[in-house]
Structure 1
Amino acid sequence: MNEKNVVFASGFVALVGRPNAGKSTLLNACVGEKLAITSPVAQTTRRRMRAVVNTDHSQLVIIDTPGLHKPKDALGSELNRSALGELAGADVVALLVDATKPVGTGDAWVARHVAASSAPYKLLVLTKADVAGPEQVAAQLAAVRDLVELNDELVVSAREGFNVDAFVELVSAHLPEGPRWFPEGMDVDATPEDLVAEFVREKLFCNLRQELPHSVGVLCDGLEYADDGHASIEVTVLVEREGQKAIVVGHGGQMIKRVGVQARRDIERLLGCKVYLDLKVRVAPQWRRDEREIRRLGYSSED
């Protein structure tokens, strides 16, 4: 085909699924760099993130959504609204299912929403194939087929890079003709402040695991560049009780210091300069039930 006759395709690809299904890991693999945070803790993703993948003849806007779950507070309800809201305008919906965990009622609930969406192309993506055997993969595919009828299916391992390019190619082939929604060189719609807060929250989750992660919120209060080229950043970590603050700070300040050292590496890679990072911990009782606080932290479905 003559190059001049090649149609340029573009569109929005929503990644949806249960918590820890591998949505953020797949997004990072598609982009080729770390933008979305990941951790072993369920419901790590709170902000909807749009990352841009450009090919010669297409532009994919991949949307990482919070894991769909049974909400226990206003924060959980907002995260579900945010995730489900992305189904409405998506050109492609990718239902991500963990190959290592039995398909259950939660997956069935998500599958029903995917089936009801107006997206013209719906794809099952079975993730974490690197840690699942062939029989387990086959059983998972069969279980999902019993729940919902989709247009296609693909088995991937984002960590190993298995079938990541195939995912991009498959989705690109099913996007409508359209413009570049984002300029070349722009790979994410989040601000540097948003990403800073996310990187700090990731390190809190990874270090604290199940102790109190869902009681933790993070806000970047300021980011300024100095004349010598380094960046000065102020970040507030929110918890709900004084006892939680003590855990985050750690004995002699060791925990918050460790989090700062780890987060600084990602932030310096992001900004391309040395960073001075000032972390403060503040108690905000019941912040997860406060819609104003949820909105201020950027976790609202309206953001």
Structure 2
Amino acid sequence: MDTWWPEVPASEQEPDIDASPLFAEELPASHRSGFVALVGKPNVGKSTLLNRWMGVKVAAVTSKPQTTRTRLLGILTRNDAQVIFVDTPGVHRPRTALGDYMVAAAESAVPDADIVLFMVDLSSPPDANDRHVAELVARFVNVPAILVMNKRDLVSGELLDGREAAYRALGQFSREVTISAEEGLGTDELLSQVIGYLPEGPRFYPPDQLTDQSERFVAAELIREQVLLNLRHEVPHAVAVIVSEFAQRPNGMLFIAAGIYTEQDSQKGIVIGARGEMLKRIGSGARVALEAFFEQKVYLDLWVKVRKNWRSNEKYLRELGYR
């Protein structure tokens, strides 16, 4: 895959539209571009929808809440538009410093967006977190907001009608749509509607850039995704991943070395597993995902270390990239 990756996250630098001849391509006069914030409580399908629209996995996706920890951009470039999706952590009641960071990252995405997609889960009724997000969106009356009711494939009949009515009652929205991000139902139509709300303008990023995050970040997220998929209860949420080496080897393989950090010694033992079997399973799944994304053979070296209570330690959060 011939894809341009930034040396540093674009979130740390201002886009320079005139810096590259890539931006000088002749575009249609009606070309649209802008930022689309995806917000909602945890586990409503924001990252699933982003990955479907991007056509490639740029965000970790699992059935566990709070899989997304930081704000990241998915950059979709077409002939008629460049859509910069801002995938945000789920808004929830935080219990740690990491949780505070995640909620702040989500809430800060709304005022800077050209349009907001407020995503909810039709498989369950509205709760306090949904109402909190609705109140957040309502504070920015100048930003169009679409209510995206996801997981329509999981409910039907009168239950579906009742859930839709309950979510519509959360506020006043520019548009209300029902989709299934997992099945792709209604997602193409929604994308067309989103582009219609964007202002006319040039591209903000080169056409072959997929995200504002580095290759190391994407690799770390794909590894952490496997931790979430293979472990249960609180352990996955106490894990962070840092890629310490990312290099092309002369034999044509991509070498990736990464540390998996836990908060307690007992969690370290669970991640490693009996005779190292769990770590092998995590590594095998991660290698498959990494090879699919980077489209080449990957040699993956994993180890596990303990950082006591890192989620509530500001120093560790900065070291792990969450500040």
TM-score of Structure 1 vs Structure 2, range by shorter chain? over 0.9
Q: Which residue of 1 aligns with 2:209?
A: 186
Name structure 1 gaps, 5 residues minimum. none
Q: Pick the aligned partner of 1:147 from 166, 170, 175.
A: 170
Counterpart of 1:60 in 2: which secondary structure? Answer: strand
What is the root-mean-square deviation in Å for CA atoms of aligned residues? 1.5
Q: 2:70–2:322: 8 Å Cα contact kept in structure 1?
A: yes
1:46 equivalent to 2:69? Answer yes
Q: Which residue of 1 aligns with 2:290?
A: 267
Distance 2:318 2:73 in 1: 18
Counterpart of 2:230 in 1: which secondary structure? Answer: helix
**What is the 5 A alignment of 1:127-166?**
127-166=150-189
Runs of 4+ that moved beyond 6 A: none
Counterpart of 1:147 in 2: which secondary structure? Answer: coil
Q: Which moved more, 1:290-299 or 1:248-257?
A: 290-299
**What is the 5 A alignment of 1:45-84?**
45-84=68-107
Q: Which moved more, 1:248-257 or 1:216-225?
A: 216-225
Q: Which moved more, 1:125-134 or 1:105-114?
A: 125-134
Q: Which residue of 1 aligns with 2:198?
A: 175
Q: 2:27–2:79: 8 Å Cα contact kept in structure 1?
A: no
- 1:68-94 deviation per Cα after TM superposition (whole angstroms, max 9, x unaligned): 000001000000000001112000011
Name structure 2 gaps, 5 residues minimum. 1-25
Distance 1:174 1:239 in 2: 43
Please give the TM-score of this superposition, normalised by the length of structure 1. Answer: 0.95
Paired-residue identity, %: 39
1:225 equivalent to 2:248? Answer yes
Change in Cα spacing, 1:227 to 1:97, as seen in structure 2 (3 Å) is same
Q: 2:60–2:222: 8 Å Cα contact kept in structure 1?
A: yes
Counterpart of 1:162 in 2: which secondary structure? Answer: coil
Q: 1:99–1:136: 8 Å Cα contact kept in structure 2?
A: no
Counterpart of 1:88 in 2: which secondary structure? Answer: coil
Q: Pick the aligned partner of 2:221 from 194, 198, 202.
A: 198
Q: Pick the aligned partner of 1:241 from 261, 264, 269.
A: 264
- 1:250-289 deviation per Cα after TM superposition (whole angstroms, max 9, x unaligned): 0000000100000001111222221111111001001001
Distance 1:37 1:166 in 2: 24
Q: Which residue of 1 aligns with 2:20?
A: none
Shift of 1:137: 2.7
Shift of 1:149: 0.7
Change in Cα spacing, 1:176 to 1:251, as seen in structure 2 (3 Å) is same
**What is the 5 A alignment of 1:47-126?**
47-117=70-140, 119-126=142-149
Please give the TM-score of this superposition, normalised by the length of structure 2. Answer: 0.89
Shift of 1:117: 2.2
Shift of 1:107: 0.6
Shift of 1:183: 1.1
Distance 1:50 1:186 in 2: 10
Counterpart of 1:195 in 2: which secondary structure? Answer: helix
1:250 equivalent to 2:250? Answer no
2:319 alignment partner AA: R
1:212 alignment partner AA: V
Q: 2:28–2:80: 8 Å Cα contact kept in structure 1?
A: no
